[in-house]
Amino acid sequence: MTAASPSRPVHLGRIVGASLCGFALILAGCAKSEETAAPPAQGTGGAQAPVASTADGPTCTITQYGGTQLDLKSAIVGFSQSEKEANPFRIAETQSIKDEAAKAGVKQLLTTNANSQLSKQISDIQDMINKGAQALIVAPLNSDGLEPALSAARAKNIPVLTIDRKVNAAACKDYVSFLGSNFVEQGKRAAQQMAKALNNKGKVAILLGASGNNVTTDRTNGFVDELKASAPEIQVVAQQTGDFARDKGQQVMEQIIQAQPDINGVYAENDEMALGALVALRSANKKPGTDIHVVSIDGTRNAVQKVTEGELYAVVESNPRFGPLAFQTLQSFLSGQPVQQNVVISDKLYTKDNATAELGNSY
Amino acid sequence: MAETTVTQPPATRRLRDYGVYAALGILVLYNLAFTENFATLANLNTQLVQVTPILIAALGMALVIGTEGVDLSVGSVMALSAALLPLYLGYGLMPAILVALLGGALCGIFSGTLVAVVGIQPIVATLALLVGGRGLALVLADGRLKDIRNPMLLELGSGSVLGIPIVVLIAACLTLVVGFLVRYTTFGRQLVAVGGNRSASVLAGLPVRRTLIVTYVISGVLAAVAGIVATARLTASDPSAIGQLAELSAITAVVVGGTPLNGGRVRILGTVAGALLMQLISATLIKHNLPSSAALVVQAAIIVVAVLLQRPRLGGGG
């Protein structure tokens, strides 16, 4: 572009910049939000220690992994969170780790957040090692790419537990154990609820999660395989990605419901897409819970609320409260006992029968 | 502006100017023939409603591109306006909307000043807001999605007048206003002149700086309107998702609609058709249960064709 205009003193831009910042501060200062019903206190669910479903998989001991026994109370533990604590899952997960660290009485808990950047997560973990972390709990951003951080921990015989996402590395060798939900099982349980809602017969649309994500693949396979096995008369007539986002879920649902107005069920692979789908269904004059049944996965407060109102048929929980299980596993491991290499966290199921009573345990 | 058109063969020029309408027509005919329940009023409304946020943002984008600029910040300004809205709903709907629009206007003043006064390239000036605007939105909203309960705002998002959704009426009015602005006002003439030849405009004594700043302000305000509409539709303020990649969709709509990237020409109706074409492509794929990521590939192909058609001489080489 031609810089035809003769340049004027640059401070004009600075003034605008400064006033914009000032504007931002004023905005934040005199904000007055819409009156809403006071949300139930967060973190009440933390009281509920998730019980690991008993598994007879391979185990790992500190002698196999290398390192020395340690009392958790005198240990510095590092926690690396992958994504900003903006969504309910991450908020509940970090809170649960912090609460349980306090309860277990660890000497110090270091916490970091990678803000969805892999390079930051690697340097976060290396920083915590340099600060003297003796055990690490990592919520990996991605299944791949954390090798530099893992090998730094490995070099110092620091035990690493990965939570919620599994890394592509050898358990008990590159890291100690993985603690997480069984996403295939979540899909299966959603399929069972769908079969129940539709009396084993009908047409279903699936709102897929983000493409190329193993959570999406597992939740889809679990659902589709279970329907084939136990309710073959339920047909999956549409599968479209809603990117785990509410607005995308709403838009995709609006298109599907018009192209196929005779569907009876919607399976959303997370709560946010289900909430978007409910808006879309209502605006297409369908009554969720009567004309069409929606099943989803996560167990967020908003979704469980919709179960109590009858708009969602069922929500399969994806439990974010890894704290109790993680510190229990660390404790056993550091005191020389064998621990499972794959610890499956138990997920609840919210239906109209228990949603009102369990609302406080949703996140 | 005239000198670029004379070197093009008339056939190419016609394709560039009217190709988008032909493509849209063909896609509509295809859907009428092969898509179930396509020829319904409800479906028409759905497509129009879904396209509104992008369309409104694209109107502003068309003006900016007409000045030989580009506004990469529209998606982030949408997010900012979505974030501001629930913060001020406590004062009532109107004050909240005004604050959101004011936020958009200030964003426009910011990028407009950088472009017009400081002389920074538009792509860089607005890139700053693309990054910073969403950051500010997330900070204001504490990074979280907030449900909207204000009944008037919800009515704005889902209500209709005489069977036409309110948001579509808003988009239609804004299209008329912006179209009028371009075609019949002094400002519109000046905008096109500045985009066509900035040096000449300066020499001719046109208010170049003011025209540029006003253009970016209009784009910012329209983006804020798009953010309000998107929030009302979603029944929630979600600054991390609202407006995501909207700047690219808006640029696509403008370019496919026949507005050249090197300025000096603004085609508002073409922009509307461009936005509708992109909307219909993704809707068609979803309705036929094809992976919607394929839509991106189709859209990319259309953009390439549109840009090729805008070259002074097709196939002219270097």
| CATH number reported for the structural domain that contains residue A302 in this entry | 3.40.50.2300
Whether residue A166 sits in one domain with residue A119: yes
In this predicted structure, the answer to whether residue A9 has a pLDDT above a threshold of 50 is no
Which residues in chain B are closer than 8 Å to A14, comparing Cβ atoms? none
Whether residue A216 sits in one domain with residue A142: no
Phi, psi of B30, rounded to the nearest 5 degrees: -60, -45
Q: Which one has a higher pLDDT value, A87 or B84? A: B84
Predicted local distance difference test score (pLDDT) of residue A182: 92
Kindly write down the DSSP assignment for every residue of B40-106, as one continuous string: SHHHHHHHHHHHHHHHHHHHHHHHHHHTT---TTHHHHHHHHHHHHHHHGGG-HHHHHHHHHHHHHH
Predicted local distance difference test score (pLDDT) of residue B317: 38
Whether residue A127 sits in one domain with residue A253: no
Within-domain flag for A87: yes
User: Rounded mean pLDDT of B177-201?
Assistant: 95
Rg of the Cα trace of chain A? 24
Q: Which residues contact A262 (CB under 8 A, 6 or more apart)?
A: A203
CA distance B183 to B192: 10
- Inter-chain CB proximity B143 and A283 less than 8 Å: no
A25 reaches B (C-beta below 8 A)? no
CB A169 within 8 A of CB A112: no
A116 reaches B (C-beta below 8 A)? no
CB A140 within 8 A of CB A168: no
Pairing verdict, β B160-161 and B164-165: antiparallel
User: Rounded mean pLDDT of A16-35?
Assistant: 59
Task: Report how many domains make up chain A.
Answer: 2
Whether residue A165 sits in one domain with residue A218: no
Residue A288 gets which letter from DSSP? B
Within-domain flag for A64: yes
Q: For all residues of chain A together, what is the average pLDDT?
A: 86
Q: Which one has a higher pLDDT value, A65 or B15? A: A65
Which residues in chain A are closer than 8 Å to B202, comparing Cβ atoms? 4-5
A262 reaches B (C-beta below 8 A)? no
Give the residue among A26, A24, A25, A31 at the shortest CA–CA distance from B87.
Answer: A31
Q: Which domain holds residue A145?
A: 44-180+320-347
Predicted local distance difference test score (pLDDT) of residue B8: 67
CA distance B158 to B230: 11
Which residues in chain A are closer than 8 Å to B234, comparing Cβ atoms? 246-247, 250, 276, 279
Neighbours of A356 (CB within 10 A): 14
CB A347 within 8 A of CB A317: yes
User: Rounded mean pLDDT of A185-213?
Assistant: 94
Whether residue A336 sits in one domain with residue A301: no
- Inter-chain CB proximity A7 and B118 less than 8 Å: yes
With H, G, I as helix, E, B as strand and everything else as coil, classify residue B147: strand
In this predicted structure, the answer to whether residue B112 has a pLDDT above a threshold of 50 is yes
- Selected residues 155-214 of chain A with any CB under 8 Å from a CB in chain B: 211
Return the bridge partners of B165, or none: B160
With H, G, I as helix, E, B as strand and everything else as coil, classify residue B146: strand
Within-domain flag for A170: yes
Q: Which one has a higher pLDDT value, A265 or A84? A: A265
Measured in angstroms, the CA of B251 and the nearest CA of chain A are apart by 18
Predicted local distance difference test score (pLDDT) of residue B10: 78
Whether residue A153 sits in one domain with residue A63: yes
Structure tokens at A232: 């073959």
Helix axes B268-287, B41-66, angle to 10 degrees: 140
Phi, psi of A338, rounded to the nearest 5 degrees: -70, 145
CATH classification (class only), B19-27+45-260+268-310: mainly alpha
User: Could you tell me if residue A333 is left (phi over 0), alpha (psi between -120 and 50 degrees) or otherwise beta?
Assistant: alpha
With H, G, I as helix, E, B as strand and everything else as coil, classify residue B238: coil
Which residues in chain B are closer than 8 Å to A210, comparing Cβ atoms? none
Q: Kindly indicate the confidence band of residue A43, based on its pLDDT and cuts at 50, 70 and 90.
A: very low
CA distance A127 to A249: 39
In this predicted structure, the answer to whether residue B5 has a pLDDT above a threshold of 50 is no
pLDDT, tens digit (0-9, with 9 covering 90-100), for A276-297 = 999 999 989 999 999 999 999 9
Structure tokens at A252: 């995709």
User: Could you tell me if residue B159 is left (phi over 0), alpha (psi between -120 and 50 degrees) or otherwise beta?
Assistant: beta
Q: For all residues of chain B together, what is the average pLDDT?
A: 91
Whether residue A168 sits in one domain with residue A70: yes
Give the residue among A263, A185, A197, A273 at the shortest CA–CA distance from A226.
Answer: A185
- Greatest mean pLDDT among A352-361, B189-198, B293-302: B189-198
